[in-house]
Amino acid sequence: MLRHNELAKKMIANHATREAYDTMAPEFALLGELLRARKEAGLSQAQVAALMGTKAPSVARLESALSSGKHSPSVATLRKYARAVGKELIIQLK
């Protein structure tokens, strides 16, 4: 049985998989930032949702949408999320 890091390494070696992963890199980075901020704030999805004025399934969809690439959240939604976890949304182009 392969461990997660071994499987990831094997999958990334495939050119098509690597291209798909690279295409999703910004979404994965944003998801990582959201999850890190929520964890640092010590909040559950339900708590973040309450602070945003929405329901927990909305926060769950927001976080899962970023990993699937099926939906891009609005800047307004990201700003609400950031405020709920005690952060400021900053967008940069590099």
State residue 16's pLDDT score.
86
Domain ranges of the chain: 25-94
Three-state SS string across 8-43, please? HHHHHCCHHHHHHHHHCHHHHHHHHHHHHHHHHHCC
Q: How buried is residue 13: exposed, middle or buried, by Cβ count under 10 Å (0-12/13-18/19+)? A: exposed
Question: How far apart, in whole angstroms, are the C-alpha atoms of residue 91 and residue 94?
Answer: 10
CATH number for the segment(s) 25-94 = 1.10.260.40
Question: How far apart, in whole angstroms, are the C-alpha atoms of residue 52 and residue 89?
Answer: 14
pLDDT tens sequence for the chain (94 residues):
778 788 878 888 888 888 877 888 888 899 999 999 999 999 999 999 999 999 999 999 999 988 887 778 999 999 999 999 999 999 988 8
Contact indicator for 10, 2 with CB cutoff of 8 Å: yes
